Amino acid sequence: MPTTLADWLTHLESLHPKTIALGLERVAEVKQRLKLDPNFPVIVVGGTNGKGSVCAMLESILYAAGYKAGCYTSPHLLHYNERVRIAKRQVGDAELCASFEDIEHARCLGTEIPLTYFEFGTLAAMQCFIAHRVDVAILEVGLGGRLDAVNVFDNDCAVVTSVDIDHVDYLGDNREQIGFEKAGIYRKDRVAICADPKVPDSLRAHAASIGAELWCIGSDFGCTPHQGQWDYRSKSGARNALPHPALRGAFQLNNASAVLAVLDAVQMRLPVSMAAVRRGLTEVELAGRFQFVPGKPQLILDVAHNPHAARTLAQNFANLPPAKTYGVFAMLKDKDMVGVAELVNPHIDEWLVAGIDAPRGASGAELAQVLEGVGVRGGVTVFEDVASALRFAYKAAGENDRIAAFGSFYTVAAVMQEKGIRAN
């Protein structure tokens, strides 16, 4: 039996022949063996992009309101413990190892049940939350929704932040197919929230077919920005003169609106004051989402790894003052490298492309070929790894220039390691 967290994570990676294996039967059986039945409200957050921001804002506001909130997110940037937090503190190695050991025993009782790395982690997070008697659990969907391990737990409210093209091998290649998969987290007689302004028909239809109470941004709730503040409105009332979230980005008000809609939906069990909302919005932190690192030249970190996120990144760039921008760019080869490059191209003056040392990582040469096909306007230089590309950028850039590292969680994690930047 493994003894350290690092050993456990290596063990978990070897247990299932596939990194991703959608389906709830296996994880539901182990959940039953472990008797993991939470007696606190559960909020599930799915969507193509924006999940991390919504989870972070919910966690921050509920913490400000005095609740002990458990928060499970993925992936992590530097340390696995980032995935499992209680009252905004990462769960320690010893406790995670103990949970992994319990799950290992349970899955091997009688008929051995194979679990993926993510399924193991999902059960461990909930076991920690139950052991700590949290007031509420926030669970971020890993992939899709309907067949994701998180969906093995019933929820009191579920939110789909956005619906766009990603993970086509698993979810489909159009918004209607993907919308149906995302809507699988909705529940009968519970509030189901959609923060995508263009709600897929399949999502509406599924919510109606199961008897969920669908709230859509723009019609059932929404936001109005004005003079550095914003107002929120919904069926349940309004919250006015709110501060902008501490998270940068053009679409964070949509995410914040979804967060307040969730709080409306669970207000009978988890009432939250205006003071807690304001404090939570201003104190929220989330690494790698249009994150500015202090210093000169300016360094921006963004995990944007699909066209939907790249479109947001491009719009955020457009709102910045002009500056020569060096792009430290690395991606996984099963992502839409062309789509991301095309969208960000107008804002990058020099492309510094690097390989990612992971099974699905694209090499620097492969990325350079993609950029050549796109016909990017800036020069392209190839590096073996992200750290080398970053060091070159700092030597080449003037103090009034900008360095942007983007394309993957791996890209941002490598920059954070190189610069000694801590994750939340």
Q: What is the pLDDT of residues 236-252, one digit of tens each?
A: 889 999 999 999 876 89
Dist. CA 58–CA 384, nearest whole Å:
39
Which superfamily is assigned to 291-419 in CATH?
Mur ligase, C-terminal domain (3.90.190.20)
Q: What is the pLDDT of residue 22?
A: 72
Q: Tell me how far apart the terminal alpha carbons of the chain are, to the nearest angstrom.
A: 30
Q: What does the pLDDT read at residue 358?
A: 85
Of 308, 318, 286, the residue nearest 412 (C-alpha): 286
CA distance 383 to 326: 14
Residues 222-227, mean pLDDT to the nearest whole number: 91
Q: Residue 172: which pLDDT band, with cuts at 50, 70 and 90? A: confident
- By the 8 A CB rule, do 139 and 38 touch? no
The whole-number average pLDDT for the span 1-26 is 84
- How confident is the model at residue 405, as a pLDDT? 98
Q: Which tens digit of pLDDT belongs to each residue from 69-79?
A: 999 999 999 99
Sheet holding 229-234, edge to edge: 221-226, 229-234, 237-243
Region 257-269: mean pLDDT is 97
In the prediction, which pLDDT does 19 show? 62
User: Tell me, what's the pLDDT at 31?
Assistant: 98
Domain layout of the chain by residue ranges: 5-283, 291-419
Provide the pLDDT confidence category of residue 44 given band limits of 50, 70 and 90.
Answer: very high
pLDDT for the residue numbered 78: 96
* pLDDT number for residue 237: 87
Rounded CA separation 273/368 (Å)? 51
What digits encode the pLDDT tens for the residues 110-120? 889 999 999 99
pLDDT level of residue 7 (50, 70, 90 thresholds): very high
pTM for the model stands at: 0.94
Over residues 319-330, the mean pLDDT reads 96
Given this chain, do its domains 5-283 and 291-419 carry the same CATH topology? no
* pLDDT of the residue at 93: 97
Contact predicate 85/139, CB 8 Å: no
Flag whether pLDDT at 168 surpasses 70: no
Structure tokens at 156: 């009191």
Q: Residue 160's closest CA among 117, 212, 235, 111?
A: 212
129, 34 Cβ separation under 8 angstroms: no
Quick one: angle between helices 25-34 and 93-107, nearest 10?
110
Got the DSSP string for 71-129?
EE----SS-GGGGEEETTEEPPHHHHHHHHHHHHHHHTSSS-----HHHHHHHHHHHHH
Percentage of the chain lying above the pLDDT 90 cut: 88
Q: Which CATH architecture has domain 5-283?
A: 3-Layer(aba) Sandwich (3.40)
Q: How many whole angstroms separate alpha carbon 315 and alpha carbon 302?
A: 13
Model confidence at 20, pLDDT cuts 50, 70, 90, reads low
Task: Provide the pairing of β-strand 291-293 with 298-302.
Answer: antiparallel
Residue 336 is which amino acid?
D
Separation between Cα atoms, residue 224 and residue 239, nearest integer Å:
11
